[in-house]
Structure 1
Amino acid sequence: MIGLCMGLAGVVWAQVPTAEFTLAWQHTIEKIRWEEDYRVGAEGLLLGEARVKGSGAGMEIPADAELRGGSWHYQRQLPPLQPLRLGRTPEAGDYQLCFNQRCHSMSDWLGPPQASQPAVELWSCELDSPASLVDEGRGG
């Protein structure tokens, strides 16, 4: 079964048994929520729709974005990401992973962001046995 792995340089820190998820975070300066929907496949993480509540410093809304329900919705054409590298520091706050209709801080799996480990990578991977998987966003 393919799922989502979190870690760095190919070292798995946590596994999440999901075929799709939303990555969400708050812009550090503008305090505006961003969301990106991903599908997990053998070739990597495929970005679907993205949403942002507004624009600001370094947050230009794409020209083809549509305003719906208070958020700008748009799609970017990117090849599958394998891995997706994220900066993760105490000053920036934490990311959320949303799947199965619930959102969880990455801290649930990885502990709080630390200056000594300022990055994390997400990639699609073959999951270990069901007994060793992270269930519903809590460390296992």
Structure 2
Amino acid sequence: MAAAANLCLMLGLAAAPEVIGSAATLSWTHSIEKTLWTEHWLATPDGLVLDAASVQGSGAGMEPPDGSILKDGAWHWRPTVPPQSELTLGNAGVTAPWRLCPDGGSCRDLVAPAGEPIKLFPCP
């Protein structure tokens, strides 16, 4: 059995990776619809696994898939995408920041130097 992976975060090209735990929730406000989108990610030896997602509405390319359940004002579903080697988050500086909440830890806004990527990836 392979060792469990951690989730690492890099805020910009020159930043050192920071281990934040084995799972976290990533959320943001959709730039057009102004509604909250949330994803729960797990770090595994196979990559980052998108375990759950929700969105507080629909429109502008954010329609919940068939089988979604409306609960507490948001559509919830379990995505069916393969494990990802990393997530690269845009950082144009013109929208609200991404928000990361490690399981069992404190939430924080993700801020990197203007125009530099924010990356999440599995690490040992």
TM-score band by shorter chain is: 0.7 to 0.9
Structure 1 unaligned blocks of 5 or more: 127-140
Distance 1:81 1:25 in 2: 19
Which has a greater percent of helix? 1
1:22/1:97 contact within 8 Å kept? yes
Matched, 1:27 2:25: no
Deviations 1:52-72 (A, max 9, x none): 110121111212111011110
Distance 1:90 1:80 in 2: 28
The normalised TM-score by structure 1 is: 0.75
Distance 1:86 1:98 in 2: 15
Secondary structure of 1:61's counterpart equals coil
1:6/1:12 contact within 8 Å kept? no
Task: Give the counterpart letter for 1:102 in structure 2.
Answer: S
RMSD, aligned α-carbons: 2.3
1:3 is aligned to: 6
Query: Percent of aligned pairs with the same residue?
Result: 34
Q: How many residue pairs are counted as aligned between the two chains?
A: 120
2:110 is aligned to: 106
Structure 2 unaligned blocks of 5 or more: none
The normalised TM-score by structure 2 is: 0.84
1:3/1:15 contact within 8 Å kept? no
